[in-house]
Amino acid sequence: MDDIETKIVKSYDNYIKDKSIFGDTIKVLPETPQSFAQFPTIIVSEVNNNQNLSSTTTNYYEHSSNLTYKVDIYTKAITVGNKKYQPRNVISELKLLTFDFFMNYGFYRANGTKNEYPDITVSRYTCLFSTTRNNWNGKIR
């Protein structure tokens, strides 16, 4: 079966860089780096992949899996075209584009939360998206 996580991260990377006014400065990664060298940085990763019990046969043959993806958006104030954008404005645009991407991919938004980060100059927003994926053909329902 294909690596769905790599496919989603690459598709998201292309989508967000194409659609966002901050596209030239965005860094999309599959895991959190030791330190952030570029803002905004967005981490996209599969955080849960479990058996969908409602689509499991009595002999335990799995027909589908439940997937949850986590998207963490980290940013500071950014200047684009001589205009300065505050972190809340950057996050506002990026989270709406992120919602759109995942919903069009067949996910639903399970959660969206503003989070703390040890460096108070960095703003962080975390989203969780869930879906069900067919095991026999890899399609997201």
| 8 A C-beta contact, residue 20 and residue 40 | no
Q: Does residue 9 sit within a domain?
A: yes
Specify the pLDDT at position 80: 92
Which residue segment(s) compose the domain that 63 sits in? 4-134
Per-residue pLDDT for 120 more than 80? yes
Taking the CA atoms of residue 90, residue 118, residue 6 and residue 63 in that order, the dihedral angle to the nearest 10 degrees is: -100
Q: What is the pLDDT of residues 31-82, one digit of tens each?
A: 999 989 899 999 999 998 877 655 655 555 557 788 999 999 999 999 999 9
Q: Does residue 72 sit within a domain?
A: yes
Q: Does residue 139 sit within a domain?
A: no
Specify the pLDDT at position 138: 67
Please state, in angstroms and rounded to a whole number, the distance separating the CA atoms of residues 104 and 99. 8
Specify the pLDDT at position 10: 97
Q: What is the pTM of this model?
A: 0.89
Tokens standing for 38? 């570029």
Domain count, the chain: 1
Specify the pLDDT at position 49: 83
